[in-house]
């Protein structure tokens, strides 16, 4: 893909993150793309659904439904994926992941790379900003720590 397409689809993931924030959830969004076409998008819904597995990437993949193969897809995510989501990326054979930012949470970029996944880190200010706005509210710190399994 090229930078323009990466920006376009990261923008879709960011719009999902903004929807999650507006709904009182954790603002992490994701988009799944095949051949330059959006397959599905989704956002973290742990809070909204009371589902500990409803991370942004997982919601996106769930919205995509069954796919014959993921080996020709790209996954866009506003924040570096956790180990659960990284394991799913590896399990499904998604070859390329575009990450909006890894400052708020460094996730598992090196794990993905060690498993042959191409990871592009965009260092996107808008992705950092949505997390900064979420984390600026003291009541959200406990929700965030729960999401990343921190005490």
Catalytic residue annotation = 57
Torsion angle (degrees, nearest 10) of CA 135, 107, 79, 54: -80
Give the max Cα distance, the chain. Answer: 43
Handedness of CA 29, 120, 122, 82 (dihedral sign): positive
């Amino acid at each position: 893909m090229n930078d323009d397409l990466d920006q376009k689809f990261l923008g879709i993931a960011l719009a999902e993150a903004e929807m999650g924030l507006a709904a009182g959830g954790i603002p992490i969004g994701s988009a799944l793309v095949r051949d330059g076409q959006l397959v599905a998008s989704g956002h973290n819904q742990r809070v909204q659904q009371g589902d500990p597995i409803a991370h942004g990437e997982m919601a996106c993949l769930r919205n995509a439904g069954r796919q014959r193969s993921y080996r020709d897809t790209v996954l866009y995510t506003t924040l570096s994926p956790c180990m659960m989501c990284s394991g799913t990326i590896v399990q499904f054979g998604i070859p390329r992941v575009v990450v909006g930012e890894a400052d708020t949470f460094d996730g598992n970029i090196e794990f993905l790379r060690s498993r042959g996944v191409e990871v592009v880190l965009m260092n996107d200010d808008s992705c950092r900003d949505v997390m900064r706005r979420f984390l600026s509210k003291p009541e959200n710190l406990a929700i965030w720590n729960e999401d990343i399994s921190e005490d």
